[in-house]
């Protein structure tokens, strides 16, 4: 599989980055436009902690057709072709249960767009209808897995059937500029403290410290009212780790307690935003207050 990942890059270095990963790789990785409200990670203080994961055992019989078993139900948006899903997974050989790959040891889920051929057919077909929070088991025959051409060094032999236990972290439909909410910046004056206006309530997972938020964001210069960046127009949300110091203070504080599916407008004074440095890459000067329109598309 070739996940399309959205990683943290400095706001001052907006870039087009193509990221691939995992033992199951191909040449279908595509570049995505990325911007983050986070600093570059400090490798000296960043650690990968394997997450708990569900057990997966081989099926009673080797699958000859795709078998989908929902172990737990999810909620929210139902995945369809064209949607991007974030998933953790464990993969085993259906024959004897030998594990050949998992995402948990890498410390983060993979993301890919359903129906684009970025993953094996058994995943493209098997994750249709999935929802965030769901555990789904996929028993995949060899012809919907890697067929006669498994990845070298993967431990998978030609024709092997595969079984995956998948935990769906988020399902996010594609977006275009017209999907972005519109606000009147004059209605959100920035004072000395953070202002939070919940313009739409969500009904999914509630963000807490230590979670990862998948959020669409519009950055507005509060003084001019100009929109400087819009992830709805970019087509991909941001991944924001909910840890103090990872992102600007105003965004971290403004996201806490927000439920997936909700929308908030954050009025952020400069000392809780980009401070004296500003964000020159998007045309924001020093000591500038900002307004952020945030839509929480997913969380895990």
pTM here? 0.72
Domains and CATH numbers, the chain: 48-172 (3.10.50.40), 177-299 (3.10.50.40)
Instruction: Give the position of tokens 């400095």.
Output: 10
Q: For residue range 52-104, what is the model confidence (pLDDT) as tens digits?
A: 789 999 999 999 999 999 999 988 789 999 999 999 999 999 999 999 999 99
Return the percentage of the chain with pLDDT > 90, whole number: 70
Better-predicted residue by pLDDT, 33 or 192: 192
Per-position DSSP letters for 79-117, written without gaps between them: P-TT-EEEEEEEEEETTT--EEEESGGGTS-EEEETTSS
Mean pLDDT over all residues of the chain? 83
**Residue 44: which residues within 8 A CB-CB, separation 6 or more?**
none
Q: For residue range 131-153, what is the model confidence (pLDDT) as tens digits?
A: 988 999 999 999 999 999 999 99
Better-predicted residue by pLDDT, 7 or 115: 115
Check residue 71 and give its pLDDT.
Answer: 96
Q: Let me know: does 86 contact 300? Beta carbons within 8 Å.
A: yes
Better-predicted residue by pLDDT, 114 or 34: 114
Give the whole-angstrom CA distance, residue 143 versus residue 195.
Answer: 54
Check residue 182 and give its pLDDT.
Answer: 94
Q: For residue range 111-130, what is the model confidence (pLDDT) as tens digits?
A: 999 999 999 999 999 999 99
Q: Which of 12-21, 34-43, 66-75, 94-103 has the lowest mean pLDDT?
A: 12-21
Q: For residue range 195-212, what is the model confidence (pLDDT) as tens digits?
A: 999 999 988 889 999 999
Check residue 37 and give its pLDDT.
Answer: 53
Check residue 76 and give its pLDDT.
Answer: 79
Give me the sign of the Cα torsion angle 64, 65, 69, 74: positive
When pLDDT is cut at 50, 70 and 90, the band that residue 51 belongs to is low
Return the percentage of the chain with pLDDT > 70, whole number: 83
Check residue 15 and give its pLDDT.
Answer: 20
Task: Say if residue 16's pLDDT is above 50.
Answer: no
Check residue 74 and give its pLDDT.
Answer: 86
Better-predicted residue by pLDDT, 17 or 177: 177
- Which pairs count as long-range contacts for 274-281, CB under 8 Å and 24+ apart, including other chains? 274/11, 274/248, 279/11, 279/12, 279/228, 280/12, 281/11, 281/12, 281/13, 281/14
Q: For residue range 282-298, what is the model confidence (pLDDT) as tens digits?
A: 999 999 999 999 999 88
């Amino acid at each position: 599989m070739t996940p399309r990942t959205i990683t943290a890059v400095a706001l001052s270095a907006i870039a087009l980055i193509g990221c691939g990963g995992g033992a199951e790789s191909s040449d279908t990785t595509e570049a995505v436009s990325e911007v983050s409200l986070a600093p570059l990670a400090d490798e000296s203080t960043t650690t990968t902690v394997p997450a708990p994961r569900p057990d997966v055992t081989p099926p009673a019989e080797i699958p000859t057709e795709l078998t989908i078993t929902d172990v737990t139900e999810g909620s929210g948006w139902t995945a369809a072709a064209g949607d991007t899903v974030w998933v953790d997974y464990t993969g085993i050989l259906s024959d004897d249960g030998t594990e050949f790959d998992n995402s948990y040891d890498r410390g983060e889920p993979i993301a890919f767009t359903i129906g684009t051929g970025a993953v094996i057919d058994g995943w493209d077909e098997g994750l249709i209808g999935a929802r965030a929070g769901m555990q789904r088991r996929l028993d995949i025959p060899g012809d919907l897995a890697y067929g006669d051409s498994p990845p070298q060094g993967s431990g998978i032999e030609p024709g092997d059937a595969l079984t995956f236990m998948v935990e769906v972290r988020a399902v996010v439909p594609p977006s275009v500029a017209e999907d972005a909410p519109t606000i009147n910046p004059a209605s959100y004056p920035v004072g000395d403290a953070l202002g939070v206006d919940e313009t739409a309530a969500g009904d999914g997972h509630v963000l807490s410290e230590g979670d990862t938020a998948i959020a669409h964001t519009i950055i507005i210069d509060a003084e001019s009212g100009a929109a400087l960046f819009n992830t709805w127009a970019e087509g991909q949300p941001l991944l924001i780790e909910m840890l103090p110091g990872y992102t600007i203070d105003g965004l971290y504080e403004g996201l806490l307690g927000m439920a997936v599916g909700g929308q908030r407008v954050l009025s952020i004074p400069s000392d809780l935003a980009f401070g004296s440095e500003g964000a020159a890459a998007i045309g924001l000067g020093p000591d500038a207050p900002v307004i952020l329109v945030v839509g929480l598309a997913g969380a895990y």
